[in-house]
Amino acid sequence: MGAWAIAVHGGAGVDPNLPKERQDEAKRLLTRCLDIGISALRSNVPAIDVVELVVRELETDPLFNSGRGSALTEKGTVEMEASIMDGPKRRCGAVSGLTTVKNPISLARLVMEKSPHSYLTTPGAEEFAKKQGVEMVDNDYFITEDNVGMLKLAKEANSILFDYRIPTVGTCGAAVDSHLQMNGLPISVYAPETVGCVVVDKEGRCAAGTSTGGLMNKMSGRIGDSPIIGAGTYACELCGVSCTGEGEAIIRSTLARDVAAVMEYKGLNLHEAVDYVIKNRLNEGKAGLIAVSKNGEVACGFNTTGMFRGCATEGGFMEVGVW
Ligand SMILES: NC(=O)C[C@H](N)C(=O)O
């Protein structure tokens, strides 16, 4: 029997000026999610079930950018995406373009388990959701007042915002001064707030899941890294990885898969592998990731100012941090 470990994230790239109440709120949610995961792991719930359980909790709470509280498209609508992967057999499921599925991570799991495919997008994904009887809600359910305000600011600034949750115009103005550009539009890099969870259970089974609304003011139809297996999410016999940050850069870097690849082919341990990919693979992009290994190790890495994250191990280690 091995030792379990779990990590969760709520996005990389936190604004140094993010008000303390917001930081504390995020830390409380991450702690609650870790506690849910820990008690499931203590009851021998398999890693893949723990990942789904924890990501559902994050999707249901409006604080982070997934499920309710998702970032809005340029049209003011929500288009969500998610993926999940079960390490031992490298089974995976992914979904994108969802507008009415309450918990995208659970639909990704159903794609993995109940369809002959790995990835479904709309409209087929939502037809499949209806057939599977998953909970569906009106698109309005996902839209929060905060996000409507941030979309307005993003439009005024002609920006695609990573950091859409900064609550004041002044800070947002600073955010869009970022040097980064996407198709000629400035991108702020403070608080992406996609969610993810990685787990290794006592049997040494690794699993990973990621869920997001993507980028504020994104084009309708834009798909980021989160539903792309190998980019935003990856799990195998060695490790489980979930990423967050600038989706286009994460896709270019196949960030999640690269953690596993350097462990597999260079013989690095989990911490070395995470450091290696953050330093060497992120060509000019800003991102972060969480990872666990089959040996019960947990690691986190980012090249942004901060990352909302938490982790715990069977040995009693527990940490929730932002910077
Ligand atoms: N919030 C995020 O982490 C953004 C996500 N990686 C995306 O590009 O869609």
- Domains defined for the chain, CATH in brackets: 5-142+188-321 (3.60.20.30)
Instruction: Write down the pLDDT at residue 74.
Output: 94
pLDDT of residue 186: 45
pLDDT recorded at residue 165: 38
For position 292, what pLDDT does the model report?
98
Q: Which residues line ligand 1 (CB under 6 A)?
A: 11, 65, 192-194, 212, 214-215, 224-226, 244-245, 247, 250
Active site residue 171: no
Residue numbers in the chain where pLDDT is lower than 50: 163-192
The ipTM, to two decimals, is: 0.98
Instruction: Give the model's pLDDT for residue 183.
Output: 44
Ligand 1 atom closest to 214 (CA): 9
φ and ψ at residue 216, rounded to 5 degrees: -65, 130
Q: Residue 296 CA to chain centroid, in angstroms? A: 21
Question: How far is C-alpha 151 from the geometric centre of its chain's CA atoms?
Answer: 20
Residues 6+ positions from 42 with CB-CB distance below 8 Å: none
CA 251 to ligand 1 center in whole angstroms: 10
Q: In what order do the strands lie in the sheet with 91-98?
A: 119-121, 91-98, 80-86, 206-212, 195-200, 5-12, 307-313, 318-321
Segment 268-296, tens digit of pLDDT: 999 999 999 999 998 778 899 999 999 99
Give the pLDDT score at 188.
43
CA 16, chain centre distance (Å): 21
Write down the pLDDT at residue 307.
93
Predicted pLDDT of residue 162: 55
Distance between CA atoms of residues 115 and 126, nearest Å: 13
Q: Which of 163, 281, 197 is nearest to 231 (CA)?
A: 281
pLDDT for 184 equals 47
Could you give the 3-state DSSP secondary structure of residue 190?
Answer: coil
